[in-house]
Amino acid sequence: MIEIDKKSDTPIYEQIAQRIISQILSGSLRPGERIPSVRQLARQLSVNPNTIQKSYAGLLENGIIYSIKGKGDFVANNLNALRYMKKKELITELVQLTQEAKQAGLWIDELLSTVDSAYSERLI
């Protein structure tokens, strides 16, 4: 089940793409599996079909899904590449955040223990 926040400042089409990617990464959508049709998802989220279309176009372009005319859109067999991409992205963000925190005067201990406890916590 996908949920979006229309008030958020990250565009809806990107929110949807992120949700789908995270569903793939978490295994709740598997390679080869069909994802909801544009119209169906549009109805379900009460969002303009154009917006869904834009999400899917992005996923298609990055090889995360493939589409078969007349049948629908399916999760591609890219799981490892996808994981790798996401991982690199997260590491980059983490490096930036750490350096910013250092400059702002936080101690390394605070950062490490924050990461440690956040990792152990049960996800919401």
Q: Counting Cβ atoms within 10 Å, is residue 109 exposed (0-12), middle (13-18) or buried (19+)?
A: exposed
Show the CA angle centred on residue 8, arms to residues 7 and 11, nearest 5°: 110
Asked whether position 49 contacts DNA by CB under 7 A, the answer is yes
Tell me how far apart the alpha carbons of residues 22 and 77 are, in angstroms, rounded to a whole number: 15
Residues 88-117 that bind DNA (CB under 7 A): none
Instruction: Verify binding: residue 51, DNA, rule CB under 7 A.
Output: yes
Residue 6 in the binding site for its own copies (CB under 8 A): yes
Binder of its own copies out of 31, 33, 43, 99 (CB under 8 A): 99
Coil/strand/helix, residue 39: helix
123 binds its own copies (CB under 8 A): yes
The binding site for DNA (CB under 7 A) comprises 6, 11-14, 37-40, 47-51, 53-54, 56-57, 60, 67-73
